Copies of this chain bind each other. A is one copy, B any other.
């Protein structure tokens, strides 16, 4: 039953994937392509069907995955889901199973989950992911792994099946801590991009040229490259992450800052902009919509329709 990964490492039985949303389904599909046997589940039926189409085996629930697999990936939307799934796994997994928790969730919740599984001889790793759903599809993810070093090592062949890089960051929780640092920068760079584009547009520069030129120079950031085009093309209705969902990330970063007693003036300066984006009706839009908040501040009255807007204040 044991699969032989492309990279020639013996993997004890199928890889389990619990949670088959954007990230989970992309990881599962890439693992199938890499030669792994994949079993998975999700509470949404059509996500299970999609797994079958991608070449995996859909199981009824987390317990079933726990019974079949010694290497399990969790890709869950909330603390509550993590708690429920871990209760099932504690009841079903064999001792020696390794489970990686890939979500951006409160660290305290991950610690509780780890401790709960430890009683059953199951090792939970805190392995956050750097990359969007789109990047997950092209295997363009980095894994911020943390926890038991030997378990991380044992999981490496599987990481290689869905990610381009994996860092062993040491102590359990460092994966989440690193993710918070990354997300703090994501939050800032997104707003910075909007602020910079506004200056350019109001100075009379051509928006498309601006995005190309700046994205290629000393002022560039990954976020500028990713979201700058959405800002000038006003395509924030195609959300990579919605303003509403991002609030969860902002809250977690805020708590991490408080726990570390770390002052963060730029991060704090982004908060009113994200709040304003929600207030102005962009809750279901991509976070690139903060650009419209800047336009509003500058008195650039939003038109009703799609298409490029003017740059003149009244």
Chain B nearest CB: distance from A38 CB in Å?
Answer: 26
| Pairs of residues from A and B, 8 with the lowest C-beta to C-beta distance, nearest first | A299-B310, A280-B299, A185-B219, A221-B221, A263-B272, A182-B219, A261-B279, A202-B260
Q: A169-B205, A264-B195, A275-B261 are in contact. Are A189 and B221 (CB under 8 A)?
A: yes
* Contact of A267 with B by CB under 8 A: yes
Inside 8 A of A199's CB, which chain B residues have their CB? 180-181, 184, 256-257, 260, 262, 264
Inside 8 A of A195's CB, which chain B residues have their CB? 184, 188, 262-267
* Contact of A200 with B by CB under 8 A: yes
Interface residues, chain A, with chain B CB atoms under 8 Å away: 130-132, 142, 144, 165, 167, 169-171, 174, 177-178, 180-186, 188-189, 191-193, 195-207, 209-210, 213-214, 216-224, 226, 247, 254, 256-273, 275-276, 278-281, 293-303, 309-314
Q: A184-B196, A265-B269, A272-B268 are in contact. Are A210 and B178 (CB under 8 A)?
A: yes
Closest to A301 in B: B312
Give the docked Cα–Cα distance between A265 and B267 (Å): 11
Inside 8 A of A311's CB, which chain B residues have their CB? 202, 298-300
Chain B nearest CB: distance from A24 CB in Å?
Answer: 19
Query: A294 touching B181 by the CB < 8 A rule?
Result: no
Q: A219-B184, A293-B297, A303-B313 are in contact. Are A177 and B206 (CB under 8 A)?
A: no
Instruction: Find A279's partner among B180, B183, B263 (CB 8 Å cutoff).
Output: B263
Inside 8 A of A295's CB, which chain B residues have their CB? 313
Instruction: Find A181's partner among B131, B214, B258, B296 (CB 8 Å cutoff).
Output: B214
